[in-house]
């Protein structure tokens, strides 16, 4: 009598597991008004991260001064929150290394992963990547974003991801690091943001959960119909 119900639950559970395993740890979210899609929801923590680009070209000091006005309800993330986000976004990629205040991955074939993340975070800034080796400095234009945040010791850290813009540009790269540059509180750049987060105010039901409930309802109806026939 309960065969249909059990089979339906097993199939739905398999769908849930396979879909969750392949899903990104972030999804599109709203920042200020419904439907603006200017934020990303980190599904495991419920944290909403402001999109890149919104606080670009402003210093950390300037953003802190606007937390009671323009960015009311938002705050700077903790060092742990940023590292956890970067680990969840890029930790599954081959070659990802993470330890302490530094994490890094780079490769030429990560376009699919980066594209999906870029779309949700609205990454669309063109900046410059600079590499110095043997006292020779080389720079390339890159498509990417950098987010600044406060380290536990009060210093400013950064988390960055960038994609190549030409065939000669180095491959796809993501990293977080302790920022040791001069006066980081006053840094501003056209593709550098200050990370801002807030807790999701109204929990949104998962679409997969709704599918599960739909299957469960159908199975229950079929069981009742079979009982009537018998």
Distance CA 230, CA 227 (A): 5
Within-domain flag for 129: yes
Residue 33 lies in a domain: no
Helices (H), ranges, the chain: 3-22, 60-65, 79-90, 111-121, 207-229
Q: What confidence score (pLDDT) does residue 3 get?
A: 47
Tell me if 38 is assigned to some domain. Answer: no
Name the pLDDT band for 15 (thresholds 50, 70, 90): very low
More confident position, 146 or 138: 146
- Its pTM stands at 0.75
Number of independent structural domains in the chain:
1
Going by C-alpha positions, the residue among 18, 28, 17, 77 that lies closest to residue 198 is 77
Any domain includes 203: no
Q: How confident is the model at residue 142 (pLDDT cuts 50, 70, 90)?
A: confident
The residue segments making up the domain with residue 112 are 55-195
- Examine residue 14 and state whether it is found in any structural domain, yes or no: no
């Amino acid at each position: 009598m309960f065969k249909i119900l059990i089979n339906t639950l097993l199939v739905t559970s398999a769908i849930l597991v396979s879909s969750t395993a392949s899903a990104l740890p972030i999804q599109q979210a709203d920042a200020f008004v419904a439907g603006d899609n200017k934020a990303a929801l980190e599904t495991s923590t419920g944290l909403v991260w402001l999109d890149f680009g919104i606080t670009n070209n402003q210093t950390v000091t300037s953003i802190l001064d606007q937390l009671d006005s323009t960015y009311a309800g938002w705050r700077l993330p903790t060092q742990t929150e940023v590292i956890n986000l970067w680990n969840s976004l890029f930790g599954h990629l081959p070659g990802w290394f993470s330890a302490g205040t530094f994490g890094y991955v780079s490769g030429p074939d990560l376009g699919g992963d980066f594209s999906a993340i870029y779309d949700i975070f609205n990454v669309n800034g063109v900046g410059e990547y600079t590499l110095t080796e043997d006292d020779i400095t080389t720079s390339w234009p890159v498509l990417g974003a950098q987010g600044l945040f406060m380290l536990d010791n009060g210093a400013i850290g950064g988390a960055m991801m960038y994609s190549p813009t030409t065939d000669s540009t180095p491959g796809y790269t993501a990293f977080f690091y302790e920022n040791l540059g001069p006066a980081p509180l006053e840094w501003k750049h056209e593709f550098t943001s200050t990370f801002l987060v807030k807790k999701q105010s109204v929990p949104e039901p998962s679409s997969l959960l709704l599918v599960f409930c739909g299957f469960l309802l159908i199975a229950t109806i079929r069981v009742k119909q079979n009982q009537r026939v018998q």
